[in-house]
Each structure stands twice: as C-alpha cells, then as structure tokens.
Amino acid sequence: MMVLRESIIMKIHYGTALGALFLTVIHIMMRLTQDFHESLEYENVIANYESVGYAILLELLLILISVHGFNGLRVILLEMNQGPTYEKLVTIGCLAGMAALIGYGSRTIIMTNMGML
C-alpha cells in the first residue's frame, strides 16, 4: 500500500478545508437568490443538479468535504488507539468511507442528469 507522508496528507487536509469553505460560500450565496423554502422544493433541487456548473460545484464540494472529514476522523481515531493493525484498519476504513460517500453523492447527480429521478 502506498503510504503518503503525513505532511502531504495534512497539506491536502488544509487545502480541502480552504476549498470547501470557498465553495460553501458560493453555494450559500446561490441559495440566497431565492427564498429558503423555495430552495428546498423538489423541482428547484433537481434543477440545481441539472445545471452543469452547479452540479460540478456540488460534486467538488462533496469530494472536498469527504476527503477533509474522513481524514479528520482518521486523525481522531489514530489518537484514540495505536498499533500497526489498528492503524491500517483505520486508514483503509476511512478511505472506504470516503469513496462510498463520494460514490453515493455522485450517483445522485449522475442519475438526475440521466433523467432517472
């Protein structure tokens, strides 16, 4: 298994935090263009997913938050317990969780754009 140096992982951690913050600000500003209740209406949510630019923003946001969040979880779990087997399990578990979350979120965007929702 390829092992990244911790400083590389932390650069990714800080970078994804900054990126997610920036995209969240854009996301919230986009939401401010309509009333809160309108923003949550089914048709409007689907319309957001069907807009290519907005779908890319949401996909990026999903990736950044998943990478940042699961690395944060890995760090917390590594601090709670130590040992080579445990650490390997935590790393693999967090990578799997990250991939699953990104996969599930992307699936929603793809299915919407394929007219399946």
Partner 1 sequence: MATIHPKLSDELSQTVVSSTKSVKIKIKRSNPNVNSEQKFDEFVVPIEKWTTVLDVLLDVKSHLDHSVGVRYSCRQASCGSCGMKINGKPGLACFTKISELDSDTVTVEPMDNYPVVRDLAVNMDRMINNHKKVMPYVIREDSEIDAESGIREFLQSPENVDKYIQFSSCIKCGLCNSACPTMAMDKTFVGPQALAQAYRYIADDRDKGKNKRLKVIDESHGIWRCHFAGSCSQVCPKGVDPAMGIQLLRGYLLGIRD
Contact residues toward partner 1 (CB under 8 A) are 5-7, 9-11, 14, 75, 78-80, 82, 87
Closest-CA residue to 94 (of 65, 57, 67): 67
Q: How far is the CB of 93 from partner 1 (least distance, A)?
A: 15
Identify which of residues 33 and 81 has a Cβ nearer to partner 1 in the complex.
81
> What is the number of other CB atoms lying within 10 angstroms of the CB of residue 4?
10
Say if CB 12 and CB 71 are below 8 A apart: yes
Q: How far is the CB of 76 from partner 1 (least distance, A)?
A: 10
Identify which of residues 8 and 46 has a Cβ nearer to partner 1 in the complex.
8
Output the CA–CA distances (angstroms, integers) from residue 17 to 7, 47, 67, 109, in the order listed.
15, 27, 9, 22
Identify which of residues 33 and 82 has a Cβ nearer to partner 1 in the complex.
82
